[in-house]
Amino acid sequence: MNLNELIKQLESDKKFLANVTHWEKIPPRKAQLVDFPSDLDEQLINSLHHRGINQLYSHQLKTYQCARMGKSVVQVTPTASGKTWGYNLPVLQTLLEDTQAKALYLFPTKALAQDQQSELNEIVQGGNLPLKIYTYDGDTPGSIRVSVREQGRIIITNPDMLHTGILPNHPKWIKVFSSLRFIVIDEIHTYRGIFGSHMTNLIRRLSRITQFYQSQPVFICCSATIGNPQQLAERLIEREIELIDDNGASRGERHFILYNPPLVDPVQGIRRSVVKQAQRIALKFLTRGIKTIIFARSRLRTEVIASYIKKSMENIHTTGHDKKIASYRGGYLPNQRRAIEKGLRESSIVGVVSTNALELGIDIGGLDVSVMAGYPGSIASTWQQAGRAGRSTDISVSILIASSSPLDQYMINHPEYFFGKSPESGWIDPDNIYILLDHLKCAAFEIPVSTEEPFYRDHYHQMLNYLEEIGLLRYTGEKWFWADQSYPAEKISLRTATPENVVIVNTTQGKNEIIGEMDRPSAKMMLYQGAVYLHQSEQYIVRMLDTANLKCLVEESNSNYYTDSIVKTDIKVLQIDSIELKSGIELFIGDVLVRNEVTKYKKIKFYTHENIGYGDINLPSEEMDTRAIALVFNPHTTGGKIFDQLKPLHREIIIRRIGNLIENVAPLFLLCDRQDMGLSERLKDPHFDHPAVYIYDTYPGGTGIAEGFAQQVEKILQGCLDLVNQCPCEYSCPSCLGPMEELADLDIDEKTNPKTIISEFMQSWFSSIQQIQP
């Protein structure tokens, strides 16, 4: 049975349809094909023919023409639209015409860089092009680094390497920088929030250096689905940029199905487990040999779903029984990951269960079905994961299976919200003082900063003066020189994630074999002593985790349960720097310790998911010092007093919901990403003894989120009130106060409507302030 027939069958399957809340048919689209541009090099045409390409999609030609005219572009097209040709064509053409010309490619991860390297290798080898292409990252062996700098025509790297390795050593890269014609930045939607603000400053530094060597590169950016690609790209590269978003690639008919698992316990609102539903639905396709990807929300779930599917495939006589099922996530060894990607491209693997690791543009060929086990968390991610299914002409299916969580339930029951809302936008704040100061240090190290820098305008003077006062810069001869013995880029990380990885060693029967790796904070949550570690559906039991030496010893095992840890996050105030009475409440700014602790784990039986016991975990907690602001409703303040006079139920609803509201509003004012800030709401805070809402920075040491919040607190709170009043939903939705909680909110009526309660509270709070401050 092929996919077409299967869809027909599902459409008349009453049992299946009973759980479908929405079935959207997206009609097929015809390809807009155009001829190769007339100036295209013969060798390049050969290479294209070699790969079976005889015409271009219209958007590819448009990107080509813009880039060749020297206009910077951002290309926004979905997966499988041949976006890499969009930038590879103009780059390769220019490199063939001008034997000195160079290009720099930036990818957010090493894996994507390697993917691009192998694709370019095929193009170059296929067409016998005389171009050398190198990847330059932390894994590049010292012996070939000189060749990369001396001979590389395309250098593929990542922002972190550009930041710590390339820019601070730019004289070594003189050959590249002095004839740099193109800078390609792929996956720009990942450069949001603090990471994006770092990225803009990195581009500023890069531009200073290309200016120093008198080259004027053209930027070609690519983005996945995002609300504001052009705006984001312009903020990132601080140049005018042409948006190319009319996709010329063809696409077959697509079915988008929202599926809500049946209730098992209508009283408690518990639904059938998303894990087993995903298994059952995926099997419908896999047993018929239809290529399917299943996205799970965590690494653990990925492994559990994969092992269920593998087990079922063993028992069923299937047409695809010779085909393999794989799991895919971060933490596998690179060659294992490459093997899975290859297996998918060559169709020796028919099904893959993955975390969002496969959401990004890694080339895994065309798939027919995408099953999302749980709402991926954002509309942009959902489209990205759904888009993994669908080739140029064939029919495809994307199924979103909801979990019992409020957000999932909201999405699944409000398809008009999901299909009507444009994807999230990316905000960045390149002039964030913390980030700017860090990059000013690096910039001064690279080339002394003068008063005539295009990027460092008048008001940067005082920042430079500040750096001089703390002894890092020296102002002399009308320039600021780096005046410290350190290497500034080394101490500045562009990302929150720690680079430390725990190595997982299989020690079964005296073996000593590395099977994978995991970042330290996650290791504490997944590799504690006694944990069952699943790797490619193989079971291991953890014998020892040594977080100091970043080593974990495991042994093969065969238990009937898996384990899941219980993580506790708590915040401790370390030091208060300022207390301010603003907006009628108290604002505290200071240092806090955010502690993530795992103390216990559950043993969960496979298949039944019964809880069959607990174990203790003895590991040092994962700690981060950062900056926070606390909004404290002290009854002695006007705002606090109004809060204090409310009914207890209303107080509870407000505290429970206000965090969500702030999370939805603050990023717009702070120009950060949601993930850059953490929230914690307490009805009675142990430190302040009053109701409090904490907003803290998720970058260690802080990046100004707390201070920025304090500065704009009136605007942000007003924004919160406006959002509640303007949001078209009835009681609450993910865009304002958060999703409705199925049960807790069942008996909501006009009297307990959270929107009314919060709106009324905020209005009386704000008007009380205006009375005091005429």
Partner 1 sequence: MNAKNSESRFNSFLKFHQPKHPFSVKNKVKFNHPSWENIQSGLFQFTQIVELNLTNSLQSMLLPSGAKLEDLIFFDTETTGLSGGAGTFVFLLGFAFWSEGNLHVKQLFVSDYPSEPEFINYLSDILLPDKIYVSYNGKCYDCHVLTNRFLLNGKNISFPVQIDLLHHCRRLWKRILGSCSLTDIERHVLNITRTDDIPGYQIPEVYHHYLRTGYIDDLIKVFDHNYQDILSLVLLFENISQILAEPLIKSYHPGKVDQLKLGQYLIDCNDLQGMDILDCAFRQGDFQAGKLLSLQFKKSGQWDQALKIWNKMYANKSLFAAVELAKYYEHLFRNYTHALEIVNSVLNWKIPLTDDFRSEIIHRKRRLLRKVNKNINFPANDE
Q: Which of 107, 328, 383, 445 binds partner 1 (CB under 8 A)?
A: 445
Question: d(Cα 129, Cα 712) in Å, to the nearest integer?
Answer: 55
Name the residue nearer to partner 1 (CB basis): 62 or 102.
102
Report the alpha-carbon distance of residue 275 to residue 604 in Å, rounded: 13
CB atoms within 10 A of CB 566: 13
**Spatial contact of 194 and 230, defined as CB atoms under 8 Å apart:** no
Taking the complex as a whole, how short is the minimal distance between the CB of residue 553 and partner 1, in angstroms? Answer: 24
Tokens of 293: 């990807």
Cβ closest to partner 1, residue 123 vs residue 447? 447
Measured from the CB of residue 433, what is the shortest distance to partner 1 in angstroms? 4
Q: According to the binding rule CB under 8 A, does residue 368 interact with partner 1?
A: no
- Candidate segments 149-157, 368-376, 471-479, 542-550, binder of partner 1 by CB under 8 A: 471-479
Cβ 477 to partner 1 shortest distance, Å: 3
For partner 1, the closer of residues 465 and 675 by Cβ is 465
Integer Cα distance of 198 and 192 in angstroms: 9
Calculate ∠ Cα 190-90-245, nearest 5°: 50
Query: Is 375:403 a contact under the CB 8 Å cutoff?
Result: yes
- Nearer to partner 1 by Cβ, of 235 and 271: the residue is 235
Q: Is 463 in the site for partner 1 (CB under 8 A)?
A: yes
> Which range binds partner 1 by CB under 8 A, 298-306, 317-325, 501-509, 707-715?
707-715
* Residue 716 token pair: 């942000």
Give the nearer residue to partner 1 in terms of CB position, either 478 or 747: 478
Q: Which of 487, 495, 500, 686 binds partner 1 (CB under 8 A)?
A: 487
Q: Is 253 in the site for partner 1 (CB under 8 A)?
A: no
Q: By C-beta, is 400 or 467 nearer to partner 1?
A: 467
The residue range among 87-95, 233-241, 327-335, 472-480 that interacts with partner 1, by the rule CB under 8 A, is 472-480
474 in contact with partner 1 (CB under 8 A): yes
640 in contact with partner 1 (CB under 8 A) = no
Residues 6+ apart with CB under 8 A from 138: 110, 161
Give yes or no for a contact between 729 and 680, defined as CB atoms under 8 angstroms apart: no
**DSSP state at residue 309:** H
Closest CB to partner 1 among residues 542, 710: 710
Q: Does 447 bind partner 1 (CB under 8 A)?
A: yes
d(CA 345, CA 343) in angstroms, rounded, equals: 6
- Please list every residue from 151 through 170 that binds partner 1, using CB under 8 A: 168-170
* CB-count exposure of residue 631 (10 Å: 0-12, 13-18, 19+): buried
Q: Does 669 bind partner 1 (CB under 8 A)?
A: no
Q: What are phi and psi of 514, to 5 degrees?
A: -80, 125
| 259 scored as a contact of partner 1 (CB under 8 A) | no
The answer to whether 106 and 137 are in contact (CB under 8 A) is: no
How are beta strands 692-697 and 677-682 bridged, if at all? Answer: antiparallel
CB of 465 to partner 1, least distance (A): 8
Tell me how far, at minimum, the Cβ of 165 lies from partner 1, in Å: 10
Binding mask 414-433 for partner 1 (x = CB under 8 A): -----------------x-x
* Residue 546 φ then ψ, to 5°: -115, 95
CB under 8 A: which stretch of 444-452, 496-504, 614-622, 674-682 binds partner 1?
444-452
Sign of CA dihedral 383, 387, 389, 392: positive
Q: Closest by alpha carbon to 524, among 597, 613, 602, 626? A: 597
- CB of 385 closer than 8 Å to CB of 359: yes
Is residue 541 involved in binding partner 1 (CB under 8 A)?
Answer: no
- Sign of the Cα pseudo-torsion (669, 670, 675, 678, in order): negative
CB of 629 to partner 1, least distance (A): 12
Q: Whole-number minimum distance, CB 427 to partner 1, in Å?
A: 14
Q: Say whether residue 358 binds partner 1 (CB under 8 A).
A: no
HSE-CB for 258 with a 13 A CA cutoff: 20
Out of 172, 338, 600, 609, point to the residue binding partner 1 (CB under 8 A): 172
Q: Is 171 in the site for partner 1 (CB under 8 A)?
A: yes
**According to the binding rule CB under 8 A, does residue 408 interact with partner 1?**
no
In the shown chain, the binding pattern of residues 563 to 602 toward partner 1, with x for contact by CB under 8 A and - for none, equals: --------------xx----------x-------------
CB of residue 594 to partner 1, shortest distance in Å? 18
Which stretch in 405-413, 486-494, 520-528, 633-641 sits in contact with partner 1 by CB under 8 A? Answer: 486-494
Query: Considering only residues 303, 341, 446, 681, which one is a binding residue for partner 1 as defined by CB under 8 A?
Result: 446
Q: Specify the residue, 265 or 469, whose C-beta has the smaller distance to partner 1.
A: 469
For partner 1, which residue of 462, 569, 675, 725 counts as binding (CB under 8 A)?
Answer: 462
Binding-site member from 86, 390, 521, 708 for partner 1 (CB under 8 A) = 708
Count of residues interacting with partner 1 (CB under 8 A) = 46
Residues 6+ apart with CB under 8 A from 532: 539, 540, 541, 542, 557, 559, 561, 562, 563
- Quick one: which of 406, 488, 734, 739 contacts partner 1 (CB under 8 A)? 488
Nearer to partner 1, 281 or 447 (CB): 447
511 binds partner 1 (CB under 8 A): no
Q: Hey, what are 265's tokens?
A: 């316990």
The correct pick among 331, 351, 704, 739 for binding partner 1 (CB under 8 A) is 704
CB of 710 to partner 1, least distance (A): 7
Contact 87, 222 (CB under 8 A): yes
- DSSP letter at 357 equals G
Instruction: State in angstroms the smallest separation of the CB of 480 from partner 1.
Output: 10
Angle formed at CA 748 by CA 742 and CA 751, multiple of 5 degrees: 160
| Options 27, 52, 471, 648; binder of partner 1; rule CB under 8 A | 471
Nearest residue to 437 via CA among 713, 716, 701, 173: 701
Long-range contacts of 390-394 (CB under 8 A, 24+ apart): 390/80, 390/251, 390/252, 390/254, 390/366, 391/80, 391/252, 391/366, 391/367, 392/31, 392/80, 392/249, 392/250, 392/251, 392/252, 392/366, 393/28, 393/250, 393/252, 394/3, 394/252, 394/366, 394/368
- Sole binder of partner 1 in the list 1, 17, 146, 174 (CB under 8 A): 174
Token duo for residue 161: 């390497």
Assign 3-class secondary structure to 581-635.
Answer: EECCEEEEEEEEEEEEEEEEEEEEECCCCCEEEEEECCCCCEEEEEEEEEEECCC
710 binds partner 1 (CB under 8 A): yes
Q: Which is nearer to partner 1, 35 or 469 (CB)?
A: 469
CA-CA distance, 167 to 155, in Å (whole number)?
13
Residue whose CB is less far from partner 1, 589 or 642: 589
| Shortest distance in whole angstroms from residue 206 CB to partner 1 | 13
At residue 524, the 3 state secondary structure works out as helix
Question: Which residues are near partner 1 by CB under 8 A?
Answer: 168-172, 174, 431, 433-434, 444-448, 457-459, 462-463, 466, 468-471, 474-477, 479, 481-488, 490, 577-578, 589, 704, 707-708, 710-711
